[in-house]
Amino acid sequence: MKLETTVEALMLGKQHGLVTILNTAPAIHLPSDVYQHVDVVCANETELETLSGRSVETVEDATLASRDLIGLGAHQVLVTLGSKGCLLVTSNNTVYKEAVPVKAIDTTGAGDCFLGAFAYYLASGSPVGVCMEKANAVAAYSVQREGTQTSFPTAADMDHH
C-alpha cells in the first residue's frame, strides 16, 4: 500500500470521528504531517528508531523517541517491546506494562497479534491500561505456538487464561 493511500484512510477516519491507529511496519521515515491524523502510532523498537532517528535499546530510550513523535503531532505512541512488554506515551503521561512471561516458540506475527487485540479491546471501551495488559496476554499466547494467524487465540482460548 502506498503512503498516500494510508494517509487518505487516516484522514477519512478522523473526518468521521474514528480512532485511528497506524501500524508502522515496515517502518519508513514519515512526513511529519502524517502524525496529525493518527491517534495511536504503534511501533516496535526497530521501527521507532527509524521513525525518530534515535537509538532505542531501553524503555527510557523508547520514551524519549516516542516524545519526539509526539512533538511531530502524534497523539499517542504505543511501543511493543517484545519480552519487555509495551509502553504507551502521551504528551503528559507514560504507561508501561510488563510482558506476560512465557517460553516463546515462534514470535512471528506477535506484533500484529498484539495490535489487533489492543484495537479490539480499545474499541470495546476498555481503559488503555487494560487494553495493553490484555494485548500482552494475547501476544504471549500466540508466541507459544508455531505460525502467525494460526497461532492467534480465539476469544474462547483467552477466556480459559
The domain segmentation of the chain, as residue ranges, is 1-98, 100-161
pLDDT score, position 3:
85
Task: Please give the Cα distance from 3 to 17 (Å, whole number).
Answer: 21
Catalytic residue among 39, 112, 157, 159: 112
Q: What pTM was estimated for this model as a whole?
A: 0.90
End-to-end CA distance of the chain: 36
Q: How many Å apart are CA 124 and CA 104, to the nearest integer?
A: 28
Q: How confident is the model at residue 159 (pLDDT cuts 50, 70, 90)?
A: low
Helices (H), the chain: 3-15, 45-52, 59-71, 110-123, 128-142, 155-159
Nearest to 75 by CA among 89, 58, 54, 59: 89
Is residue 112 part of the annotated active site? The answer reads: yes
Say if domain 1-98 classifies as CATH 2.60.40.3710.
no
Query: Residues 90-115: pLDDT tens digits?
Result: 999 999 999 999 999 998 889 999 99
Percent of the chain with pLDDT over 70: 94
pLDDT for the residue 113: 92
Burial 110-143 (b: 16+ CB within 10 A, else e): bbbbbbbbbbebbeeebebeebbbbbbbbbbbbb
Q: 27 pLDDT band (50/70/90 cuts)?
A: confident
Predicted confidence band at 66 (pLDDT cuts at 50, 70, 90)?
Answer: very high
3-state DSSP percent of the chain in helix, strand and coil, to 5:
50, 15, 35
Average pLDDT value for residue range 28-45:
91
